[in-house]
Chain A
């Protein structure tokens, strides 16, 4: 339960602590606040910048470092960063080939990253955006806002980081990032809301046998509340829907089983075990996997599944080394 957040500003002391622990990998800039990686592959000519609200740790700062991100702009809890944070993070990270913004699809993030991009262009720094919009639960023709960006962010940041390390240019990377995101879908469920930092109580009420189906990562309710099925049945249903929603493509998949903050590794690894049984039974191959708490919503009790169809030419980027606080890949796993 998020009952031990610092009073006043819960984000600033956590960023300071994070930068102290991982001083070999990241450094913290104040005014405006952003984090940057200390090291990058010398072949990389385009900087990768992400960011968004806090409360989703290790996203995004945990993925700073060689093989992944160059700088990130963290906002307050569940709130978009200010455009000035994104601007200065981007100036610090831009390479001779420019900078890519990896943006989760939320109105505030789109606008603040967009304003920063306008200002960067005024400086003569080239910018492209990769928009992450993987959340199947928000797929609707009725609204103009589109699918939310959630767990696929981690997979896109890993693949794009490795591609950037091969020295690819701005347009190539932006095109690839868009394809990575388009090949990904996620679905999340929660049995208990996150603790509200304001009230110390769950942000919304759920009965003991209820489940929010299609929940987001900002503590908002899902569109549906269902009777909680046994976990095996639940995972099968989620896979059915994900595979129905995933655009056609290669049979090789990367799977992310992600905890939403209040879910244990015992639970997450069991869920992965079932996924790893079921996908081959449907003619699909698990080419890559990541299991853990990567994109939580504070301490929400729940999990998300993300599937990304892996083009054969992307395989080496998934396997390439990465050295970040939250994700370490040794020599070509």
Chain B
């Protein structure tokens, strides 16, 4: 398998969603979110191609988004990617030994657990920094249900996480922003999904596409 398949699928998904992400951000923010996410991921893929990274590549994605991507959301995505990098490719994850080696089922459970650990740590970091809760109309609205679905592991966990994140992203269209850039325009952003939440949901869409192909997850927009 090609290295970092999830990031590659994610980058392709963001390329396809670029126009929609830009449209959403023009309605609620300053319109650069689609550009920032797409150009950041392209740079990540370039670096992965050059370096030939064997793992998932989220450590590289974390560094690129924290150091080089503009806007406020870019570095927040960087926090999530950094934690995913630690959980997926780091040595610190205990799930490897605990679930036993050998069978494909055990391997799949182990992967879900690694994703759950990384996404949960990323969520915690984003909430410490951004101080947003569910219902504040931010990317947290997509990330919280995705983490919950991953933590409830078992068959189909990736597809359930993708659907939960997509539902969470769609729910932001019903909310009035209290924090983040959309809070500056008040009710004018009502009916518009938060682009950061859609961007997070696309990551879990890509993950389900790679890990559980044929599960028929829907795009979050």
Contacts and interface: CB of A to CB of B under 8 A. Distances in A.
Interface of A: 83-84, 107-108, 110-112, 114-115, 117-119, 122, 144
Contact of B66 (A110, A111, A114, A119): A119
Contacts of A115: 66, 75-76, 78-79, 129
B174 interface: no
Given A111-B76, A114-B130, A118-B125, 19 more contacts: A83-B66, A83-B75, A84-B66, A108-B72, A110-B129, A110-B131, A111-B72, A111-B75, A112-B75, A114-B128, A114-B129, A115-B66, A115-B76, A115-B78, A115-B79, A115-B129, A119-B66, A122-B82, A144-B178
Contacts of A114: 128-130
Contacts of B75: 83, 111-112, 115
Interface residues of B, number: 15
Interface string B66-86: 110000100110110010000
Interface centre among B75, B82, B179 (most CB of A within 10 A): B75
A112 B178 CA distance: 19
Contacts of A119: 66, 82
Contacts of B179: 107, 144
A119 to B, nearest CB: 7
Nearest to A112: B75
A333 B184 CA distance: 46
B120 to A, nearest CB: 15
A119 B75 CA distance: 11
Is chain B's interface secondary structure helix, strand, loop, or mixed overall? helix
Contacts of B125: 118
A111 B129 CA distance: 6
A11 B66 CA distance: 23
26 contacts: A83-B66, A84-B66, A107-B179, A108-B72, A110-B129, A110-B131, A111-B72, A111-B76, A111-B129, A112-B75, A114-B129, A114-B130, A115-B66, A115-B75, A115-B76, A115-B78, A115-B79, A115-B129, A117-B129, A118-B125, A118-B128, A118-B129, A119-B66, A119-B82, A122-B82, A144-B178
Interface of B: 66-67, 72, 75-76, 78-79, 82, 125, 128-131, 178-179
A15 B72 CA distance: 25
Contacts of B131: 110
Contacts of B130: 111, 114
Contacts of A118: 79, 125, 128-129
A117 B129 CA distance: 9
Contacts of B128: 114, 118
Contacts of B178: 144
Nearest to B132: A144
Contacts of B67: 84
Contacts of B79: 115, 118
A46 B128 CA distance: 22
B167 to A, nearest CB: 25
A112 B130 CA distance: 9
Contacts of A117: 129
The 6 A-B pairs with the shortest beta carbon distances in the complex, nearest first, are A114-B129, A115-B75, A118-B125, A84-B67, A83-B75, A115-B129
A122 B131 CA distance: 19
B178 to A, nearest CB: 6
Nearest to A84: B67
A114 B125 CA distance: 9
A117 B75 CA distance: 13
Nearest to B125: A118
Contacts of A84: 66-67
Interface centre among A111, A122, A144 (most CB of B within 10 A): A111
Contacts of B66: 83-84, 115, 119
A272 B200 CA distance: 53
A292 to B, nearest CB: 34
Nearest to B130: A111
